[in-house]
Structure 1
Amino acid sequence: MKPTSFITAALLRFSVLLLLGVALLKPTAAQADLVRLTAADNGKQVQLNVGDQLTLLLPTISPRFGWRLTQTYPGQLTVTTTNVLPGLSSGVPGAPATIEIHFQAVGTGGLELALVSAQPGTSYSSLNGFFHVFITIDKPGVAKNVNITEYGNHSQVKVNQGDQLAIRLDNTVGSQYTWEVMPITDNVVQLVAPPAEQLRTRKKSKKKAKPGSEEDVTFQFQALHPGKTTLRFLYRSAANNEAPPKRDFELEVEVPEPPK
């Protein structure tokens, strides 16, 4: 072999090895996370990314009875599979069986994932027939809508700057009691929309809601600046401001410093 041919072949082999090395060192796309929650995680906050999988393991009285979602979360979280496992899988000693529910995070947003026992009074430990966690599904650079229901009373939630926070509270059509948001003294979040006192089903029907039926009152906020604040609502009589409130709702909100 001529010296020039030998040098050319060597350079070609070196180039191939160099390209292979670069390919091996090149970072691959991040894989989806698998998040596992048990009864001990009741009331916690959970951070997910789009594509992540979430598994719930909750105790139940028998394989015949399980847990049901209080609502669905289209476009954000979807149920993929449900299984029945031995009781110890839930982490609660003495539980006869465990319901295993698998979810997939499919879109950005914030939600309160709430489940109730299919048979009242049949849960174990401190669950008392009710389990909920606050879930935030993020996607870099995308603002999201975070939805909280009255199940989240006296809880905490974390939202990013620019996110929308909707708090939906239960009300009764025709009642003299109404929800009132207490003044916000800081500049962490801001009320941007008045309460929408309409039944969700009223949007699908032109029929007027009957007195005594249930309706949702929604307060819409926007996260403005980093910090912590407490949102408080009172359910009191519109006819008598001096009467004590019938019930209240409180939510601690944290807006973290944006990443640098």
Structure 2
Amino acid sequence: MDQIEEILNLIKDEDLEKLGKLNEVDKYNTKLVGKMVFKGLMRLILMGQKTSLRALEMVINRRMVGKNDDKNKVTYSGLSKRLKIINPDYFKGVYIDLINKVEKLLPKKTSHNLHRFDSTIINLSGYLIKDGLKVGGKSNDIQVKVSIGLKGQLPTSIRFCKGQEEGSENIALVRAINEAKIEKEDILLFDREIAKAGTFAEFDKKEYKFITRVNVGRKHDTVKQNKVTQTFFDNETEILEDKIVNLYRTQGKVAMTCV
């Protein structure tokens, strides 16, 4: 329990109140305020308990209201109404504030500037959710596809795919990268699902530095062969080649020159 309190204390009540005022989450409800909802949800998650309205009601009344304060006790029906209308930007603001604080506590590593992007798919029954992607599987199955950006050791962006075309990573992951906050010193890292040379050329035009794998047999011409050095990587990684190449589009035109 001491660890839970330590984590919750990373965000002060006054910070939660400022964010609540900024996002107007407490404008029409001064009893069940945003910070109470947030801390109640966080307690359930950190305690490893199942998140439900009943559980949230119990933890708020026990930890934040008090056993003998019947006047200010919350109910699960009140929580249900509150969660339906609370501004989600409030939780986004809390998350960003927490990320900025945690980053200062983590040790600086050589991988700190790596900004990794990947997607994951969650399969759900169509009886449980209406929105999502339909890609293979049973006719009534729904896929929720999420693209996540990780900078250093922390998730910094999350994007839920919307259109059916985003079943392709060439579309979904590129949109996730374009919507994320990319710093000048960041090095983007993604797998070979992004394969279009035109996309690489667009990233290069935006001055994005990136590392990826290309498909085996990808057409390219060697422009310059560099001397192989191992200084950047750990001792367990062997660099076989270091060269500058031209990548081609499907029309046979040079898309870009890269290392």
Q: Report the TM-score when normalising by structure 1.
A: 0.29
Structure with more of its chain in helix, by fraction: 2
Q: Report the TM-score when normalising by structure 2.
A: 0.29
Report which of the two structures shows the higher radius of gyration computed on alpha carbons. 1
Q: Which fold has the larger relative contact order, with Cα–Cα distance below 8 Å and residues 6 or more apart in sequence?
A: 1
